[in-house]
Amino acid sequence: MKRITYISRMSSTLPVSEVENIGLVSAANNRKKSITGVLIFVQGLFFQLLEGEEKAVDELFATIKEDDRHEEVMCLKTENNVTVRLFPEWSMKMINLDRNDSEIMMPIRILLQNVMDSHSIILKYTQPAVSNIFNQGLNPLDTKLHRTDKVILFGDIVSFSAICENRPVEEVSELINLYFEICSNNIMAYKGEVTKYMGDGIMAFFDIDKADKALRACVEILQEINEMKQNIKSGDPLIKKLRTGFGISSGNVLEGNMGSSFKKDYTIIGDAVTVAARLEAYTRKIKKAIAFTDDVKEILSEDWDYIPHGKVELKGKHHLVEVFSLNTPL
């Protein structure tokens, strides 16, 4: 059997009668599927434990995640190969703590709220791949390094040290956060994953069939930055000096946990990662904002207006790399 423990927020205010009806309906449906467990409701939070046959539990949890009455559904723990049920007599026991005013209930309410808030905060400091593992109730530390094909994107602010020289550090931090916000929003909108922020640089990757989306994300980032700069009428804000270059490569990489026993980083490593970083730096030489490899060009499906630059020598690379760019000035 399988057991899933999750927590979620109620997406909108529901009357008490409807909240408790959720428990009644769940109990009736779960009885048919031999699912047991408990559902605790308190101050807009659902805390639920589901146990039963693996397929039935997985299907039910998938339905819950799609239920518009729930938001921020976070799987706290998944247990496989369960042999003994914790709640064999409850097809779904509904406990509404908001109806109970005893002193013991206050700490329970606070505990569940803190669990939800702490989990939300932790996920802000992890990349989506780790968040997805967490939300399956799995331990990211158990994830093994594995080979996979990816499209890798590197972005960096041009002449960052020079434009920030003699500027207040608060102003510099605002610029970096703005840059990361613009990049991250567009990368995620096109199904990419931001894996690392490095000073004023950003690293992301896409599935191998999403090379067009990687280029499209870069184009959208450049357009958003340019529109923002054009809307500034006066003064000397740092945003006016913001320029960025992007390098995009593709290839076989290792994905998974790297690091020490004290700190882990879920990331990707491989030659394609190095090439993307070197291409980003190469944009300065060709004065184009987006540079990519021949391997990327070969997997593009859209009709892009690209410029060939021939086989070039990139820093630290022993073999020449065929480079292309979009006609987007740096």
Mean predicted confidence (pLDDT) in 138-142: 75
Residue 102 has pLDDT above 70, yes or no: no
Q: What angle do CA 156, 172, 195 make, to 5 degrees?
A: 40
User: How do residues 211-221 score in pLDDT, each as one tens digit?
Assistant: 999 999 999 99
Choice between 150 and 164, residue whose per-residue pLDDT is larger: 150
Residue 35 Rama label (left phi>0; alpha psi -120 to 50; beta): beta
Give the closest residue to 109 by CA, choosing from 120, 97, 117: 97
Q: What is the pTM of this model?
A: 0.74
Mean predicted confidence (pLDDT) in 66-86: 83
Give the closest residue to 324 by CA, choosing from 251, 247, 259: 247
pLDDT recorded at residue 282:
94
pLDDT recorded at residue 235:
62
* Residue type present at position 189: A
User: How do residues 16-60 score in pLDDT, each as one tens digit?
Assistant: 677 777 777 777 888 888 888 888 887 778 888 889 888 888 888
pLDDT recorded at residue 105:
65
Residue 13 has pLDDT above 80, yes or no: no
Give me the residues paired with residue 304 across strands. none
* Residue type present at position 58: D
